[in-house]
Structure 1
Amino acid sequence: LTYGGLVFNAKLKGEKVEIVLDQVLLFLKENSIVNFYYKPIPDFYLQRGNQDLDFFLFKRGAVLERKEMNLAINLELPLQISKSKLKHFRRIENLDLDIVEEHDFQPFWEKVLGPRLLEKFNVKPVHTKEEIALLKQNFPDNIKQYSVYQNDEIIAGITIFETKDVVKSQYGATSQKGEQVRALDFLFINLIHKYKRKGKRFFDMGIVNEENESGYHSGLLNQKEELGCSVYNQDFYKIEIK
C-alpha cells in the first residue's frame, strides 16, 4: 500500500507543480542521487485528476519501467459479480457463518493469515500482528478486521484499509476448512455490498502480478474479475538524474 508522489494543495496549478518537481530533481542531483523512481497513486484514490506530474516527468526523460494490473470494483456502477459466485453465496448463507468486526488481530494473524501464507508461498505477512495493531491504534477509523467464524472457529478474514472514498483489502486469507465452504468469497461479497451501501466509490483488491512467463497469476485474476473487478494499471516510472 505504498505510493509515491508530491503532496500539495488541490488548488495548485500545473505550472507551479512543474516548478516544485524541478526543485525536487535539483535537490536529488545536488545530493548525488542517480535514479528517481516514481509510483503514482491510482487515480481512483483521488477526487480530482493528478496526471500533470506524470506529464512533466515524461518531458524530463522519465520512462515507463513496468506495469502491474491492479484490480478494483467501481462501486458507483451496478455490481458485476459472476452468477457462479452468487450461486455459491446463496448456498453459503445457509451454513451458519458469522461475520465479526474484530479489534484484536491475533486470531486472524496467528490462525489463518500467517499459517496459510507460510504453507502456500513460504512467506510471512508484510506487517506483524504488533505492527498492524499499532496502525489500528493510530488510525482506528481507517483499519478494520473482518473475520468469518463457524462454530466459534475462525475460518477466514479480510483486513481493510479504508479512505474517504476507497476501501482496500490489504490482507485476505482462509483456512483449509474455510476454503471448503468458500468463506472468503462469502466475506468479500458481504463487504462489497456493505461498502457500496456506505457510499464508497471503489473497492481496491490489489495486484495480481507474479514472476512467471505471463507476468500475472491467472487464477487470482479470474477470482477477482468474478467478484466484479476491472483492471486499473499501476505504472512505475524511472528518471535518470542528469
Structure 2
Amino acid sequence: MIKVTRYTTEFKACWDQFVRESRNATFLLLRDYMDYHNERFVDHSLLVHDAKGTLLALLPGNQSDRTLQSHGGLTYGGVISATSMTTPTMLAVFDALVSYLREQGFEKLAYKTIPSIYHRYPAQEDHYALFRLDARLTRRDVLSVIAQESRIPFQKRRQRKITQAGKLALEVRTVDEYGPFWAILEDNLAAAHGVKPVHTLDEIQMLAQRFPQNIRLHVCLEACNVIAGVVVFDTGRVAHMQYISTSLRGRETGALDLLFATLIEHDYAQRVYFDFGISNEDNGRHLNIGLIEQKEGFGARTVVHDFYELTL
C-alpha cells in the first residue's frame, strides 16, 4: 500500500538526496531554496512511499485555503521521481495523493508541471495521470528555448545590434554585486507593469550565496556603469534567464544583444538548453509579440509549460 506523508524538517536530508538523484528535479526543489520564503506560504509538501518504505516520489506543495498548490512560490514543482518510476506506479501514486488530499479536506490540486527541458530522463507520467483523472489545463506558458547542439543562426537584425555594440567600449562581466542591476530592474518593472521583482534584492543575494554554482549575475558595463544585465539560474543542463533588464543607455547601445550573444556562444555554450523564459501574461493567454520576437531572433523556439487544476 502506498503511503503519503506530509513533509517536516526531519525529512530534509532525505528530501534533498532524492531531489539530487531524481530524473526531473533541479536545485530549486532543494529545501534550502524552497524554504527561503517559507513565511509567505503554509508548506504542505508530500513524500510518497511504497509498502516497503521505499521513497517513490515527492510533491513540493503549499496549502492555500482548500487548495494544494504545487508549489505557489516556485516556477515549477510537480511530482519529483526517479528513473525507476513507471507509468502504472505513477497512476497509483496519484490515486494515493488524491485519497490523502480528500482526507485532509482539500478540494482542489493546482498542479505545475516541470518543463521537459529540465528532465534528465523522460518523466511525463504525471501528465498522463492528470489526464486519466480529468484534470483541467488552466494555463500554458511559452518558453523560448535554444537547443545548443543545433543552434539556429542569429537573425540579421540581432546580428546588426551585436555588431553595433561590439564597436563600443562595452564590457561583459560576471559580478557578485546585484544592487546596480536591481535598481534598473525595479525601475523597468514598475514603469512597464507596476510590479516588483519576485525576489527582493536581499533575497536574490542570499540565494546567490547559497547556490553560487547555480545563480549568477552577468552584466554589460560602459565606463564601469551597469547598463544591462541578466540573472541566470543554471541547472547544469539548462541555463534559464530568470531576470533580464536594460537601461535606456543599454537599449541605445544594443548592450543586451551583446550580453545574450556572449552567454549563448561562450558562458553557456555547453548547456543542453538556453532558456529565455516566458513571454506571456494573463495565465498564458496573452503573448507579448515584441518580446518573443526578440528571443526568437537569437534562434529560440517554443517549449510549453503546462498548469493543471484537479477537482478532488
What does 1:31-110 align with in structure 2 at a 5 Å threshold?
Answer: 31-110=104-183
Q: Deviations over 1:136-159 (max 9, x none)?
A: 111110000011110111101000
CA-based RMSD = 1.7
Corresponding position: 1:229 with 2:300: yes
- Aligned residues with identical type, % of pairs: 33
Q: Of 26, 40, 45, which residue of structure 1 is paired with 2:99?
A: 26
What does 1:199-238 align with in structure 2 at a 5 Å threshold?
Answer: 199-211=270-282, 215-238=286-309
What CA distance in whole angstroms lies between the structure 1 residues aligned with 2:275 and 2:190? 24
Residue 142 of structure 1 corresponds to: 214
Superposed displacement of residue 10, structure 1: 1.7
Superposed displacement of residue 5, structure 1: 1.3
Q: Which has the higher contact order (CA 8 A, sep 6+)?
A: 1
Superposed displacement of residue 123, structure 1: 1.4
Superposed displacement of residue 50, structure 1: 1.2
What CA distance in whole angstroms lies between the structure 1 residues aligned with 2:282 and 2:91? 36
Partner AA of 1:194 in structure 2: H
Q: Of 249, 261, 264, which residue of structure 2 is paired with 1:189?
A: 261
Q: Of 87, 100, 108, which residue of structure 2 is paired with 1:14?
A: 87
What does 1:166-185 align with in structure 2 at a 5 Å threshold?
Answer: 166-185=238-257
Superposed displacement of residue 196, structure 1: 4.7
Decide whether the 8 Å contact of 1:40 with 1:235 is kept in 2: yes
Three-state SS of the structure 2 residue aligned to 1:33 is coil
What CA distance in whole angstroms lies between the structure 2 residues aligned with 1:230 and 1:47? 20
Residue 53 of structure 2 corresponds to: none
Decide whether the 8 Å contact of 2:151 with 2:299 is kept in 1: no
Decide whether the 8 Å contact of 2:230 with 2:241 is kept in 1: yes
Residue 78 of structure 2 corresponds to: 5
What CA distance in whole angstroms lies between the structure 1 residues aligned with 2:194 and 2:221? 25
Superposed displacement of residue 232, structure 1: 1.0
Which runs of at least 4 in structure 1 moved beyond 3 Å after TM superposition? none
TM-score (norm 1): 0.93
Corresponding position: 1:129 with 2:220: no
Three-state SS of the structure 2 residue aligned to 1:68 is strand
Partner AA of 1:202 in structure 2: Y
Q: Deviations over 1:68-96 (max 9, x none)?
A: 21111111213331011112212211101
Three-state SS of the structure 1 residue aligned to 2:281 is coil
Q: Deviations over 1:183-238 (max 9, x none)?
A: 111101111112453x20001111111349x7211111111111111011111111
Q: Matched residue pairs, number?
A: 239
What CA distance in whole angstroms lies between the structure 2 residues aligned with 1:79 and 1:97? 25
Partner AA of 1:31 in structure 2: Q
* Gap regions ≥5 residues in structure 1: none
Residue 311 of structure 2 corresponds to: 240
Three-state SS of the structure 2 residue aligned to 1:76 is helix
Three-state SS of the structure 2 residue aligned to 1:144 is strand
Decide whether the 8 Å contact of 1:68 with 1:234 is kept in 2: yes
* Gap regions ≥5 residues in structure 2: 1-73
Three-state SS of the structure 1 residue aligned to 2:101 is helix
